[in-house]
Amino acid sequence: MTTFPDLKTVIITGATSPRGIGRATADLLASSGWNVGIIDLDEAECKNLANELSSRYGIQAYGAAADVADEVMVRAAIDQVENNLPQIVALANIAGVSSAVGYLELTSQEWHRVLNVNLHGVHYVTHRVVETMVRHGVGRIVSISSVSAQRGGGTYSKTPYSVAKAGLIGLTRSLARELGPHNITVNAIAPGPIDTDIMGGTLSEERKAELVEDLVVTRLGTTADIASAIRFLLAEDAGYISGQTLNVDGGLYMH
């Protein structure tokens, strides 16, 4: 079994939003010694975050702009990251969009917008990164699904979001099977209600209390909760876990 190199890089998509899961994950992994490749929509924000991570944690970081729904842009951005950082060992697919449009009001444009980012985009990023991982014989991949995929919605986002996030679970299982012989693990995380802007903006205290009523714990999740789970699944010693969906949801969905 191939072990991790001394200098290792993780690519994180959707990392620049200040209150997002991606940003919390970038901070946590950088503080844990990972070199970090940032892929998000805005070039300046990617570069600024990379500089901030390098300065704060003493690691190497590089930012490259891409819309994950555009495969050509994705491949170019990952090429840049690979050319500027140590070996790519891990990938955290975090970029995503929400959609509060009800099914009866759903347009074809909205359907494709959500699927293109939340499902096709994960495929485009993963496909390119896997080329590198297979060449080196080691890799860890984690994608962000949602409890919405398992419960059939019931969250802020509606049907196209649930469909895309359910697709990620299927993609995770299939890739785990295909990539296992290359010493690459593939897992998903299904967050429950997390206090981020993807929930429709800053939550009121009243809305937070309503969401907590469905949980077996007494609080909403935080971006740090998800970042910690990502760090666990990307670790070298998590190599016997693959094809799984880890629910980090306060007990909302038990299966």
**Mean pLDDT, the chain, whole residue set:** 94
Distance CA 100, CA 161 (A): 9
**Which of 143, 151, 148 lies closest to 172 in space, CA to CA?**
143
pLDDT at 210: 78
Judged against a pLDDT cut of 70, whether residue 200 lies above it is answered with no
Side-chain-side CA neighbours of residue 104 (13 Å): 0
pLDDT at 66: 98
Distance CA 144, CA 68 (A): 14
pLDDT at 214: 81
Cα 43–Cα 234–Cα 139 angle in degrees, nearest 5: 85
Judged against a pLDDT cut of 90, whether residue 155 lies above it is answered with no
Average the pLDDT over each of 8-17, 57-66, 202-211, 212-221 and give the range with the smallest value: 202-211
pTM of the model: 0.95
Confidence tier at 10 by pLDDT (50, 70, 90) = very high
pLDDT at 218: 87
Which positions are annotated as active-site residues? 161
Average the pLDDT over each of 91-105, 124-138, 205-219 and give the range with the smallest value: 205-219
In the chain, domain spans: 9-248
Q: What is the pLDDT of residues 109-141, one digit of tens each?
A: 999 999 999 999 999 999 999 999 999 999 999
Q: What is the pLDDT of residues 157-168, one digit of tens each?
A: 899 999 999 999
In percent, how much of the chain has pLDDT > 90? Answer: 86
Average the pLDDT over each of 43-57, 101-115, 191-205 and give the range with the smallest value: 191-205
Q: What is the pLDDT of residues 161-189, one digit of tens each?
A: 999 999 999 999 999 999 999 999 999 99
For 99, other C-beta atoms within 10 Å of its C-beta total: 21
pLDDT at 106: 97
pLDDT at 49: 98
Pseudo-torsion of CA 174, 5, 31, 67, nearest 10°? -50
In percent, how much of the chain has pLDDT > 70? Answer: 96
Tokens representing residue 13 in the block: 């998509």
Spatial contact of 140 and 93, defined as CB atoms under 8 Å apart = no
Q: Tell me which fold the domain 9-248 belongs to.
A: Rossmann fold (3.40.50)
pLDDT at 112: 98
Confidence tier at 193 by pLDDT (50, 70, 90) = confident
